[in-house]
Structure 1
Amino acid sequence: MSGNTITTPDRVTYTPSRAARELGLKRREFDLAVHLGRIRTVPDEGGGGRRVAPVEIDRLRAEDGFPRSLHESVRAVGTGEAAAIMEVTKERFTRLARLGLVVPVYFYLNRYRALVWLYLADEIRQFATDEKNAHLVKGRMPEGLREQLDTGLDLRPRNWRGRHLGFLLRQAEDPWQRAGALAALLDPVQIADIAKDPYERAHLNRFRPGPPNHGAPGSPTALLAERIMTAGDPDEIGWLRADLAQTLDEAREHRSAPRPAPRQAPPAPQHDAHPSEPERTHRLLGWLRRRSA
């Protein structure tokens, strides 16, 4: 067994890094492919995260156009390149993204600490070539949409959360993990209001994924990731709370949250009605001393 593979009696599995090399992908491209469901993973039997089976590597290699087709399916572009694909200005593309008409798949903080959203090139191309979207790509923006933009509407964080939740739910294998995925988008106050039992809440938090890895804890990037990860719109919070409450009911039926064993009082000392031979001797000697005195 090596750090890149695990051998069991019935199968061999690869770490994400090894699987990415086998497929000719950069690690971020591999992670995105997993998030999008392009690459199927299996749980590590040793509890070390997700892994990839060789049969999945073979399936991807057998697809038409590999490796180019796989690379193109996970190609993520920023605003400038996305606007060029759509043949619009960057300003117009940003307005379409704020309206939620195109959904980001990734974000990061650049060296100027500006938030950068990335989009799938394939999805941008499909949006631009769809005749139903011609009036959005070319010509004057409809008045109703302009009014929404004027109010400061920006659906990019919410749409990213929806996409990320889909990934978390695909990875979940039981109701507790599904409940943890839903809880990942709510702040602790909301979770405590739904899971009032402290032991149940502690068990739920075991399955609550944190934000994607964006910098060291407490860094500006990590704080930004945490803020984007947490739902803020009242209606979004409402349906997340409703789904979490329902999924928690299913989780309770599936398996109760563990609780500490009840404390037992120490056993009371036992007084033997028939003292032992040394004890009888000790009592007799004491009686004789008292009598002699």
Structure 2
Amino acid sequence: MAGNIITTPSELACTPSRAARELGLKRGEFDLAVHLGRIRTVPDEGGGGRRVARTEIDRLRSAEGFPESLVESVRTVGTTDGAALMEVTPARFTRLARLGLVVPVRFYLNRYRAVVWLYLAEELRQFATDKNHTSLLNGRTPEGLRDQLQEGLDLRPRNWRGRHLGFLLREADGPWERAGALSALLDPLQVADIVPDPYERAHLNRFRPDPPAHGAPGSPSAHLAERIMTADQPDEIGWLRADLAQVLDEARRQRPAPRPASQPAGSPPRPSERLAGPPPTPSEHPPEPAPEPKRSRGMLSWLRRRSA
């Protein structure tokens, strides 16, 4: 009977590659749209990554101006094109970016392993047309900001990390996944300081996303990408540590990390279990823990304020 037609999961959602084709996007454009929250994805019930629901594709295709509007919303430009779009010199554009006034959305490493930052053309146009920014675009850089630039201020890596963390948290389906996202921006020694239990740390590492792929694993380019991914400023590290500790408490309450039945939570493993279980991260000189923020206003709160 027609009323008894069974719809399979594959008919309700499709793979990212197929969704990109149906939406008229290159794969890189599709991935960026997902990162920005422009395209919503759902977990694959079969464990094969994330998929795009058919209803989501229909929603996007029915939007006004499709597909041009969708393609334009994820168009990125580098420093030269960004400066031309904002009608400023490349030097001024770079100063604005280093001050954190325009925020990169992606980066790549050129053949000289120099970092090339990319920005959303849509955001640059909005910045340039805001009358509150006229003096920044045409006038002399205020003395206080000039002093920061002379001291080496460059907020591009940090601002990119903030955007990337927002994407990772949107994709996280539970507290362990959120903890993994936060830990991805911290040095492993910082994580080991917050999570001394080797079984918990091994479980957390299952949910720790890899940095964006740049070069072969272990290559200089890959190491550079890892450095960009890792928080390096005391207040940023403090926020991440505080948020990670908070989310881990929630994760432990909901679903404790697996461990041998004879090993109670919070106690050190016996010598025989150390051989069989995941080893703790070696550190002859553990780092001094970063100062915790005095008030609960961590990276999660910062991201919520940015998206408000």
**Do the two structures share a fold, i.e. TM-score over 0.5?**
yes
Structure 1 residue aligned with 2:57: 57
Q: How much does 1:9 deviate?
A: 5.4
Return structure 1 stretches of 4+ with deviation > 4 angstroms.
none
> For this pair of structures, how many residues does the alignment match?
257
In structure 1, stretches of 5+ residues that fail to align are 1-6, 264-293
Q: How much does 1:194 deviate?
A: 0.5
Structure 1 residue aligned with 2:148: 148
Distance of aligned partners of 1:9 and 1:85 in 2 relative to their CA distance in 1, 3 Å threshold: closer
Q: How much does 1:220 deviate?
A: 2.6
Distance of aligned partners of 1:10 and 1:229 in 2 relative to their CA distance in 1, 3 Å threshold: closer
In structure 2, stretches of 5+ residues that fail to align are 1-6, 264-308
Which whole-Å CA distance do the structure 1 matches of 2:220 and 2:101 have between them?
A: 28
Q: How much does 1:100 deviate?
A: 0.3
Q: Which stretch has the larger CA shift, 44-53 or 227-236?
A: 44-53
Name the % identity: 78
Q: What are the superposed Cα offsets for residues 227-277 of structure 1, whole Å, 9 maximum, x if unpaired?
A: 1000000110011000000110011111111112339xxxxxxxxxxxxxx
Which whole-Å CA distance do the structure 1 matches of 2:161 and 2:114 have between them?
A: 19
SS class of match (2:117): strand
Q: How much does 1:215 deviate?
A: 2.3
TM-score (norm 1): 0.85
Counterparts of residues 1-293 of structure 1 (less than 5 Å): 8=8, 11-262=11-262
Which whole-Å CA distance do the structure 1 matches of 2:147 and 2:159 have between them?
A: 20
SS class of match (2:118): strand
Q: How much does 1:10 deviate?
A: 8.3
SS class of match (2:64): coil
Q: What are the superposed Cα offsets for residues 19-68 of structure 1, whole Å, 9 maximum, x if unpaired?
A: 11111111110000000000000111122211111111111000000001
Q: Does the aligned pair in 2 maintain the 1:108–1:221 contact within 8 Å?
A: no
Structure 1 residue aligned with 2:283: none
Q: Does the aligned pair in 2 maintain the 1:23–1:57 contact within 8 Å?
A: yes
Q: What are the superposed Cα offsets for residues 66-98 of structure 1, whole Å, 9 maximum, x if unpaired?
A: 001001100000000000011000000000000
Structure 2 residue aligned with 1:289: none
TM-score (norm 2): 0.81
- The amino acid that maps onto 2:62 is A
- The amino acid that maps onto 2:90 is K
Distance of aligned partners of 1:223 and 1:9 in 2 relative to their CA distance in 1, 3 Å threshold: closer
Which whole-Å CA distance do the structure 2 matches of 1:10 and 1:102 have between them?
A: 40
- Which has the larger Rg? 1
